[in-house]
Amino acid sequence: MAFYRSDEVARQREAALALGAGRWARAWSVRQAWHPATIRFDRPNRTLPVSLTGATCGLDCAHCGGHYLAHMHPIWDLPAQGGVSSYLISGGCDALGRVPVTAHLTRVAELKQGHRLNWHVGLVEEKDLATIAPLVDVISFDIVGDAVTAREVYGLDVDLDDYMHTLELLERYAPVLPHLTVGLWGGRIRAEREALKALAQHGVERLILLVLIPTEGTRYADRTPPPLPEVADLFLDAREWLPRARLYLGCMRPHGLYRQALDELAVRAGFNVIVNPCQVAQRTAEALGLEIVWGDECCALD
């Protein structure tokens, strides 16, 4: 799906690179001060995504509508596991935003043997978290910046404080890698900066940034991703506000020319990891003097 015409993407890219007041130079200085001159590019072909619920979800979220669950492997019908070194354990949520993490524990324990597990748990309850903790290597957790976005996208009556309290709970049991989707509110940036500020105050050491993909068959199918200058502005804020944190550009982001420009901007903004990078990301990294390190698993497992 082409979200913007090629000339519009080019215009947006130039506008993003023209952001004033030395923003790009400051962000790059932060990267140089706190991070080695390396960048990791991941192609996670050795991580198998597994759903505990198949394609079933109780939320019908505006940006997903179960579409992405349909591309995961139901835990009761997994393919041959040759070449797999890790699993993403996820699934649909119930009406309160909780993934049924204690379902199929015997099977999950079998998968854990000789493999690492990255879990998506949603707004998990502590008793369930304590149950699965021995099977967890890392938890991926989505942060939403305000109650309006949570209500419109997920249909949940929660706010940023609820997400931060859950983050604190998760960290008592396992390493956690927060995720923040730019433009989650129908392609518009709304409360992402509030989330960034909360995460910076919390002192997170790693953060994955994603970008909304308007997806056919969902309520956001007719939207467009957020304009590149707005995304770049947020990327630069993230680099400056979380100077010591490793910043990731995750796999969930639009394709096409928009993605190519996005990847370039992420490299220039001082990101540390890009999943499934475009060739332009590699060329930009090399031009900036970065050594490229390749990975083959889900980025949360680095």
Digits of tens for pLDDT over the chain (302 positions)?
Answer: 668 899 999 999 999 999 987 999 999 999 999 999 999 999 999 999 999 999 999 988 989 988 899 889 999 999 887 899 999 999 999 999 999 999 999 999 999 999 999 999 999 999 999 999 999 999 999 999 999 999 999 999 999 999 999 999 999 999 999 999 999 999 999 999 999 999 999 999 999 999 999 999 999 999 999 999 999 999 999 999 999 999 999 999 999 999 999 999 999 999 999 999 999 999 999 999 999 999 999 999 98
Residues 91, 89: Cα–Cα separation, whole Å:
7
What's the predicted TM-score (pTM) here?
0.96
User: Is residue 1 in a domain?
Assistant: no
User: Is residue 214 in a domain?
Assistant: yes
User: Is residue 73 in a domain?
Assistant: yes
What is the domain count for the chain? 1
List phi, psi (to 5°) of 190: -125, -65
Structural domain span for residue 50: 6-301
List CB contacts of 104: < 8 A, sequence separation 6 or more: 52, 75, 76
DSSP per-residue letters across 275-302? ES--HHHHHHHHHTTPEEEEE-S-GGG-
Looking at residue 26, its pLDDT comes to 97
| 227-285: pLDDT as tens digits | 999 999 999 999 999 999 999 999 999 999 999 999 999 999 999 999 999 999 999 99
The CA distances from residue 174 to 99, 132, 140, 151, 206, in Å, are 17, 10, 10, 28, 14
CATH code for position 232? 3.20.20.70
Mean pLDDT of the chain: 96
User: Is residue 289 in a domain?
Assistant: yes
User: Is residue 183 in a domain?
Assistant: yes
User: Is residue 260 in a domain?
Assistant: yes
